[in-house]
Structure 1
């Protein structure tokens, strides 16, 4: 198999070839006459004559028609006869020749991929990503996804991916650069490998990969309690594990607390150069300053925890709110370690937590999608005959009408979705929410229809309850386990952001103002939308609280009418308007 099966070669047909094809297509003279007129100068082993002139002209015809159709699908029907060996018109030949010459000698980021990528490969990419995707946009996607970027693309395997990436890289002089993680497979660290942290050779690794030298492990830390501890921990790592074990049954909480504590532990060893159990008040103040100005080498794009590219912080550092959250999570760990007499005291109590600017409102309910815009999004996606669009539609409906959180959405399974006996034709879904609390919520009729269609795409029987996730990628890494492998909360977030980005770029139905609003829209805003619409349409507060899974009715009440709305209402009553 050759590279040319993925990327178009630059057209190198001679003027004689173009004249010969025209004569052959118009059937104006015989094949032998064409050879005598246009190829008398050719040697028997020339490309045109080596396998027979007719075979060369047929291949040339197919190559040019492929280029023309992928660049302008509207002419496909008019060229059907020519493709099958029938006659054609002089006008059609001129069209083919002009369209076939579309690829430029120099690739540009703004070029549509169909100008360079052969039809079979181009159609696979276009059906998965975007009908208008350019080379520059494709490079962005590849850089974001990394070496395995091609896995979700149907009928696009490793060979095609490598050939395409190689061609993009070879044209880096005029195209956006490809990152190393897109060019080379990611080298994974063994799951059982440990890294001995040392200020002398700093290396950022996640908590489960950390090993500490004796002088930094806290076994004789300055803040160790002289009283017997209530836990068996001999050093800081064991003490942290004891603390985190309390959240074993709450995966989101465990992930969140682990992230903040591993950041602090890494800072203690690599920046403060002391054990966690030796930090003093001045050190806590230094860490607070560190959170406000995270060094660039501590930041990086999201990567798997066993990847060498893993970093403790995302690009851009932490917001004011995130700094406060990070500070308080570590502070609570120290409070616990002090309460079980592992530590003698908690130095965090002498340092004030970061103070973010207090928001006007407790929650960003103003980010709820206006109902007219929400309905327009549903209508646009419902009209798309694309599997990826149908997955996004399911997610939007389940979050935007049933109020699911991302984590609840990705953990929802078919066997927890059941008809509601009291109202024929309606369904109820049991989900596991925050605090490991089960709740049952209604699912709209159009959400059920969307899920049924998604199950058809997955070749699964919707009518037979199973532990299959309600939403799952169509291309699985474990093909024999396709009924069990679903999305992660992060992948649903990316799917919705990617879908919104596509709609913003393509949809003529959306106004400029609506597109500007959607640029800032996130997955969680669909849950805001469900809550706001529910209460605005007259649903009782306790009903909304139950559906959303809020612990306090005060949280739900925020959606009923924001202070800002009340402010404008009252001022309007006084001054009119």
Structure 2
């Protein structure tokens, strides 16, 4: 625990170096004035000092501490990472050491070097004196000597290669620190990148710098003396300023932060002899430490900037049609802007207020008698029809149908000026034509809430398929109104829809043999990296780690996701909402089949189906759950309520958020369940892994392509025909490989489902395979499953290739 800096210590450590005072300005030599060595000695009476404070003078704002602060660690880290000492000092001490104009006050270069050496030695000595093994390991890293810097060209080349490789890793902890050099060397060898001895030295230099920076970060987390909300201002601020604040009843940093937030942007005017420059630096320093002292609430009228008023003579203009009228509420006590009231021109369904002449009570095609909706107006009948989907928990259908219904109503009321129950075939044809070219005033590009005045019914022009869908929904609405004795006819039943290309399902988005091999290699490398990371952890702790590393747990979860999606064909939402409670041993011919499992899944429309679960997938589920349990035990102990809750819930895929530290964890934001990884989390996890790997391949291919193009240019100039032909073939091959990499960047969870479906049909030809695929995928219609047969043209190509009537 850090000692209070106000207490005396038995061994005084070197303090942070004070800024060097600026020298007094030299007197300007007048024309014809003798030089200094020829001038007569000046007496004190002859020297005229300028009135006021001498240049460079500043009233101190911060106290001098003997403790290691965040600024000290940041300065050392910046220099180690390649910043010049001058730039690092100005960047990290700029809010503490500054001149009368607010500019950073940086000491002389030699003093800066001494400052850096002293701070590095203090950090090293403090870490070595600690009994914490982690601090001692970090101290050993800091004590390493960084090799001399190579030539600028070599440094730039190797840094670009290393940064590109490191940025392509899925996460910063993908490899352990100890294995970074070896993995980078493997990367260079795999990609045929040859480096000279100077570049090899630069690799070692870059790795050592990276290790030292991480070690400094770890030491800063534990050793840095940070400002706290309850700390006295006298500890951190200069004596004169602390005394002034104390007279204002501000004695802690928390009180200072609250005072600044409550007073506003000109808070310094309330503090005598502070001034705007020192106040700005003090406020910036508090903002840098907002995580510990609290954030300044810089919102509200007191923080509003006052812009000078601009005036100009302009001619009067006629009021536009967008003038907002104030409409009195019933009773006359309140008047609201008309734009905030329900309207009948452009408004969502729930805010529509239809004028009596268009409400449909006197509609031309109304049934003159009672109706099953018990509706008096068109809007009442449509609302009851939509509510039937909401009551049936068909949320997506309700939202889609409501969108099309309110669009049609807006057209009826604001464009056609006709009641829904008076729409004829001519009106229906006019609406069909309207959908082909929607007016710009009805289209909104911004995503806003439904009660926002900027809300618009359309987001853009509709495709032919979307137009057909809109007309189909309105046709279904009129059918329902007829069926429930509200209308006498359906004007949309006679419309002829434009033929559109059938794109019901793109089942070509599936993995081929090459993709599967690529995926297997990726997982092997990922597993090996996780294994190496565990070995490193065991070596540090001196025994087998009692808990898996976070990378190991994530790797096993990723492996489970891929196996689950590719071998069961489950939908993304099904994976996110399923749990392990329904897993049971499968029965074959009425007898249990050990090693084979089944699981119940709730699919679309709340339909429950049973899917086959391979033994490997069941094993991966158990391993994943075991990882989560051990991580919870490590963080909260074996009797943690969260552990009991997890064992009770047992989601199929669990979130690993919050396990990076040993602190107690709040439930992750994963949806309605406390531990399950939501569908968005599952999608992002898999998408990031696949996209990053494909992007890494694409970067390598681009680099190779550039080399081949250079060689091709050289061979062309030399007239080497054979080499030109060979290189042209290589260019085409790299271009094809780049297309493959771009395609793999689009892989997603649904590609896995399509791959599973095609594999089921391929291994089980005929109607049996089609029925099995239909059941496994949860399709309501066999026609949907049949799309996989139509898309897979492999058998057609093989059969037609044998047909040759000419015999040539």
TM-score range, shorter chain: 0.5 to 0.7
User: Structure 2 vs 1, CA of residues 364 and 82 (structure 1 numbering), >3 Å: closer, same or farther?
Assistant: farther
SS across alignment from 2:601 = strand
Alignment correspondent of 1:84: 124
| Alignment partner of 2:486 out of 342, 350, 356 | 342
Partners of 1:371 and 1:533 within 8 A in 2:
no
Matched, 1:261 2:405: yes
Match of 2:443 in 1: 298
Match of 2:509 in 1: 367
Structure-2 change in CA distance of 1:33 and 1:520 (3 Å)? closer
Contact 2:586 2:597 in 1 (8 A): yes
Q: What is aligned with 1:221?
A: 363
Distance 1:211 1:354, change over 3 A: farther
After TM superposition, give the deviation of residue 531 of structure 1 in Å.
0.1
Equivalent of residue 607 in structure 2, options 437, 444, 465: 437
Residue 15 of structure 1 corresponds to which residue in structure 2? none
Once the 2 structures are TM-superposed, how far is the Cα of residue 503 of structure 1 from its aligned partner? 3.8
Deviations along 1:194-253, one digit per CA (max 9) or x if unpaired, are: 962332xx34x3x45555454444333343222432221222332123223443143443
* Offset at residue 528 of structure 1 (A): 1.3
Superposition CA RMSD, Å = 5.2
The Cα of 1:395 is off from its aligned counterpart by: 4.9
What is the distance in 2 between the residues matched to 1:447 and 1:438? 20
CA contact (8 A) 1:419 1:428 kept: yes
- Once the two structures are superposed, what CA deviation does each residue of 1:162-195 show, in whole Å capped at 9, x if it has no partner? 99xxxxxxxxxxxxxxxxxxxxxxxxxxxxxx96
2:482 partner SS: helix
Could you say what secondary structure the match of 1:550 adopts? coil
Out of 402, 415, 418, the residue aligned to residue 581 of structure 2 is 415
Distance 1:533 1:445 in 2: 18
Cα offset for 1:524?
Answer: 2.9
The residue aligned with 2:774 is 545
- Give the structure 1 partner of residue 566 of structure 2: 400
1:368, distance to aligned residue in structure 2 (A): 1.8
Query: Where do 1:212-251 residues align within 5 Å?
Result: 212-247=354-389, 248-251=392-395
Match of 2:758 in 1: 532
Q: Secondary structure at the match of 1:84?
A: helix
The answer for the alignment partner of 1:146 in structure 2 is: none
The residue aligned with 1:104 is none
Alignment partners' CA distance in 2, 1:501 and 1:469: 24
User: Residue 468 of structure 1: CA displacement?
Assistant: 4.4
Distance in 2, Cα, partners of 1:564 & 1:547 = 22
Q: Which moved more, 1:479-488 or 1:408-417?
A: 479-488
Structure 1: distance between partners of 2:799 and 2:646: 52
2:695 to 486, 505, 508: 505
Say if 2:482 and 2:488, in contact at 8 Å, map to a contact too.
yes
User: How big is each residue's C-alpha offset from its partner over 1:378-430, in whole Å with a ceiling of 9 and x where there is no partner?
Assistant: 65367273888876665554433211223433332333344547343444221
- Closer, same or farther in 2 for the Cα pair 1:52/1:409, shift >3 Å? closer
1:196–1:213: 8 Å Cα contact kept in structure 2? no
Q: Give, in angstroms, the shift of residue 288 of structure 1.
A: 2.4
The answer on 1:351 being equivalent to 2:495 is yes
Q: CA deviation at 1:551?
A: 3.3
CA distance in 2 between partners of 1:479 and 1:357 (Å): 41
Cα contact 1:381–1:390 (8 A) shared by 2: no
Whole-Å Cα distance in 2 between the matches of residues 302 and 327 of structure 1? Answer: 24
Q: 1:303 to 1:403 in 2, by over 3 A?
A: farther
**Unmatched 5+ stretches in structure 2:** 1-12, 24-55, 84-118, 126-141, 156-162, 175-290, 299-339, 528-550, 633-641, 659-665, 702-736
Distance 1:512 1:543 in 2: 36
1:370: how far off? 1.6
Superimposed CA distance per residue, residues 497-523 of structure 1 (whole angstroms, 9 cap, x where no aligned partner): 555444433356995233222355454
* Kept after mapping to 1: 8 A contact 2:652/2:676: yes
CA contact (8 A) 1:44 1:50 kept: no
Q: Given the two structures, how large is their TM-score scaled by the length of structure 2?
A: 0.46
Corresponding position of 1:9: none
Rate the CA distance shift 1:233–1:358 in 2: closer, same or farther, 3 A: same
Deviations 1:137-168 (A, max 9, x none): xxxxxxxxxxxxxxxxxxx99x99x99xxxxx
Query: 2:40 aligns to what?
Result: none
Q: How far apart, CA to CA, are the structure 2 residues paired with 1:363 and 1:388?
A: 32
Which residue number corresponds to residue 198 of structure 1?
Answer: 344
Q: What residue number does 1:153 align with?
A: none
Moved more, 221-230 or 301-310: 301-310
Give the corresponding residue for 1:145. Answer: none
The alignment status of 1:570 with 2:799, answered yes or no, reads: yes
Q: Which runs of 5+ in 1 are unaligned?
A: 1-29, 69-78, 100-110, 116-122, 129-155, 164-193
Q: How many Å apart are 1:533 and its aligned residue?
A: 1.5
Change (3 A) 1:288 1:299: farther
SS of the residue corresponding to residue 61 of structure 1 reads helix
CA contact (8 A) 1:469 1:485 kept: no
CA distance in 1 between partners of 2:754 and 2:605 (Å): 20
Partners of 1:300 and 1:310 within 8 A in 2: no
Q: In structure 1, the residue corresponding to 2:374 is in which secondary structure?
A: coil
Q: Which residue matches 2:41?
A: none
Which residue number corresponds to residue 285 of structure 1?
429
Distance across 2 between alignment mates of 1:269 and 1:491: 43
Q: Which runs of structure 2 are paired with 1:19-168 in the superposition (5 Å)?
A: 50-51=64-65, 60-65=75-80, 84=124, 89=145, 91=147
Q: Residue 673 of structure 2 corresponds to which residue in structure 1?
A: 483
Is the partner of 1:367 in helix, strand or coil? coil
1:304-360: CA deviations, max 9, x gaps? 767778765556x4433333222212211111111212122111022212321246x
Distance 1:496 1:90 in 2: 38
What corresponds to 2:598 in structure 1? 428
For the Cα contact (< 8 Å) 1:280–1:347, is it kept in 2? yes
**What SS does structure 2 have at the residue aligned with 1:439?**
strand
1:559 aligns with 2:705: no
Structure number with bigger Rg: 2
Q: Secondary structure at the match of 2:649?
A: coil
* Cα contact 2:598–2:611 (8 A) shared by 1: yes
Q: Does the CA contact (< 8 Å) of 2:697 and 2:741 recur in 1?
A: no
**1:473 and 1:363, CA in 2 relative to 1: closer, same or farther beyond 3 A?**
same
* Distance change in 2, residues 1:88/1:477 (3 Å): closer
Q: Contact between 1:416 and 1:430, CA under 8 Å: does it hold in 2?
A: yes
Q: CA deviation at 1:470?
A: 4.0
Aligned length: 451
Distance in 1 (CA, whole Å) between partners of 2:443 and 2:553 is 38
Cα separation, 1, equivalents of 2:454 and 2:750: 28
CA contact (8 A) 2:170 2:689 kept: no
